[in-house]
Amino acid sequence: MKYLRLKKKQDFRKLLKAGKRAYSASVTVVYSPAGRTGMAVCVGKKYGKSVRRNRIKRLLREAFRFHADKLTTPCVFLLIPRIAENYSYEEFRRDLGAIFRKERLTGA
């Protein structure tokens, strides 16, 4: 599934102001209904050096991509990881799936 990437500051502000939040052990998801599905990952400098931050972003994007085809409602998502010692694709994938099911954003 193809999805939009959020890049503009005003899009981030609008989403943070009006979006709903869902929490899990490894990630916080801020989302809002939209015309097309969009996604952004927010990983600040407190997570470590650039190599570590980029790895976290790659893992989150891939975990989102795994669930993107199953989304029934087009929404814009902002994924914010929790600070942890280690990050894994399996943990992000599991937690995103649980959030999407809990918020009734997927069919299954």
Structure confidence by residue, pLDDT tens digits, 15-52: 999 999 999 999 999 999 999 999 999 999 999 999 99
Token pair of 77, please?
Answer: 């998502």
The two beta strands, 27-33 and 4-5, are unpaired
**What pLDDT does 1 receive?**
65
pLDDT above 70: residue 61: yes
Q: Are 83 and 47 in contact (CB under 8 A)?
A: yes
**What pLDDT does 2 receive?**
74
Q: How many CA atoms lie within 13 A of 88 on its CB side?
A: 6
Q: Are 21 and 30 in contact (CB under 8 A)?
A: yes
Across the range 65-76, mean pLDDT stands at 92
CATH architecture of 4-19+27-102: 2-Layer Sandwich (3.30)
pLDDT above 80: residue 107: no
Report how far residue 6's alpha carbon sits from residue 36's, in angstroms, rounded to the nearest whole number: 11
Query: Predicted confidence band at 108 (pLDDT cuts at 50, 70, 90)?
Result: low
Distances 35 to 9, 50, 87 between C-alpha atoms, Å:
19, 33, 31
> Chain centroid to CA 11: how far?
15
Q: What is the pTM of this model?
A: 0.91
Q: How many CA atoms lie within 13 A of 42 on its CB side?
A: 18
Across the range 73-83, mean pLDDT stands at 95
Computed over every residue of the chain, the mean pLDDT equals 93
**What pLDDT does 53 receive?**
97
